[in-house]
Structure 1
């Protein structure tokens, strides 16, 4: 299903973090085609402007804005939310993420491990700062983007920031698992308060650049890259298809808070479908303890209104 299968989103406003590249870009492009105002939340304003121009060239009458959003800089988030300047926000898509490849552990100015800080703590704090405007918008949504990689990982609450066990791929997967645990815990807290805001968790499956269509000048896939990636299409897909579970979670009013959505085929490729989360992705005790730790690390009280 594409955005055309849903009613028009004209008049609505959606914020997508990390919208200047990869899956986030395609989420923004597809949501722009729904008639909504799409706000690209990006650390690099030049890349955000380029992404907006690329979308505008493909989507007639696209309603686009951008706001500088650096999730690794917690002190900047209240300013970013103020710059957003909206009195209603129908959905925020917590998509931005960083995957480091080097063996050296990197930290933010506050001393937080960079992947955990960007992928989880920044989004945790952002939702806290957005809570008033989300609460003021009837049936608003928080869509948290996890990863297929979390299936093989478990969260170590005694080493959340990988101070004692830093392996880039593991640290990345654990940061995304933290995000998914947050999304399910947010749902529980919203429901306990009788809020109309929904918290939905999604993942894009396996998405490769080589299977992703070009979006020049933002991204160009060569013929050679495409041919090299074709064998992988049996199990994986492009980032434009990986965006579809996220777009559906934003637009499909029949999707309920607390659900998990991902690709249909082995959770790796294909059209969106509802999934049953593995127990460790939504464990209430782990999620509650992570929530307390995240609040202490960020200094933000994420209290659903």
Structure 2
């Protein structure tokens, strides 16, 4: 079935109102996560930033409030590489129901050496995938308490050319930083789609969607000091790239639409409409490797074993 779009046409600059809803954005203090949080705040939603660094979270909150007067935004401490912090973060949300969580935070290492979390997991796989996998389990009671909650997992276009090695998920035998990052994001995307299949089988009202930001560069991103600064020189040097990619404010659009658009549905993949790299968000066909449900099921079972939790348990 070809991708469909909602009617009336979606306008990234005229978002629907969302007063009374609560959204957690992991990594909402910087990069794409910051702009997801800023744009959702403009709808009247209560936005909670999940952040490891209280000072950076406070800077982000100040910036959001300066651009969105009256924004209802706050932060909770969240370290996805530390399982002990996940339950505490869920409890500190202080909400009776959670309408959406955007799994955006991530670690990207450019060079060796291979690093591990405190639990001995490869850092990028352990943070980007396992951390969000376990966090979802902790949040499931709050998500299930909402009328129609959404789990939105932010993948990466870098994952499109990757394949998972189910026998070496931790990259112990063959570690290459960029490939390991791409595979960690691919694992996240498998998780988001498999989660929706399991939620549907359980008759849950919670839906799980997957998005990716396309190509999103700092140099094409509007300044948000002190969260993000951009020199005039950097902007000029990056101008030719704007034909193919975009800034992180635009990279946030698919996630924001997946949270807000009533026409979006669980199990869908959303990304930029121009070659998957830039432009307004649209639903796109699920990538061929992500359609392999056998791989998704094996990854799920391995993730349950590695985290000792199961997001498919709606009691959390």
Residue in 2 aligned with 1:41? 50
Return the alpha-carbon distance in structure 2 between the equivalents of residues 219 and 147 of structure 1: 21
Residue in 2 aligned with 1:295? 304
Residue in 2 aligned with 1:232? 241
Q: Map Cα deviations across residues 7-60 of structure 1 (whole Å, 9 max, x no partner).
A: 310000000000010000000000000000000000111100000000001101
Q: Map Cα deviations across residues 261-286 of structure 1 (whole Å, 9 max, x no partner).
A: 00011000000011001221231100
Runs of 4+ more than 3 Å apart = 1-7
CA drift of 1:5 comes to 4.0
Return the alpha-carbon distance in structure 1 between the equivalents of residues 84 and 114 of structure 2: 22
CA contact (8 A) 1:121 1:294 kept: yes
Q: Tell me the number of residue pairs that the alignment of Structure 1 and Structure 2 aligns.
A: 305
1:95 paired with 2:119, answer no
SS at 2:160 equivalent: helix
Residue from 181, 185, 201 that aligns with 1:192: 201
1:211 paired with 2:203, answer no
CA drift of 1:219 comes to 1.2
CA contact (8 A) 1:190 1:304 kept: no
Residue in 2 aligned with 1:80? 89
Residue in 2 aligned with 1:271? 280
Residue in 2 aligned with 1:14? 23
Q: Map Cα deviations across residues 54-98 of structure 1 (whole Å, 9 max, x no partner).
A: 000110110011000000001221111111121110000000011
Question: TM-score of the superposition, structure 2-length normalised?
Answer: 0.95
Q: Identify unmatched segments of 5+ residues in structure 2.
A: 1-9
CA root-mean-square deviation: 1.0
CA drift of 1:2 comes to 4.1
CA drift of 1:6 comes to 4.3
Q: CA 1:35/1:3 → structure 2, altered by over 3 Å: closer, same or farther?
A: farther
Q: Which has the higher helix share?
A: 1
Residue in 1 aligned with 2:136? 127
CA drift of 1:3 comes to 5.5
Residue in 2 aligned with 1:67? 76
Bigger Cα displacement from structure 2, 196-205 vs 277-286: 277-286
SS at 2:108 equivalent: coil
Residue from 106, 109, 113 that aligns with 1:104: 113
Q: Identify unmatched segments of 5+ residues in structure 1.
A: none
SS at 1:204 equivalent: coil
CA drift of 1:4 comes to 5.6
Residue in 2 aligned with 1:150? 159
1:257 paired with 2:277, answer no
Return the alpha-carbon distance in structure 2 between the equivalents of residues 269 and 6 of structure 1: 19
Return the alpha-carbon distance in structure 2 between the equivalents of residues 34 and 3 of structure 1: 12
CA contact (8 A) 2:217 2:247 kept: yes
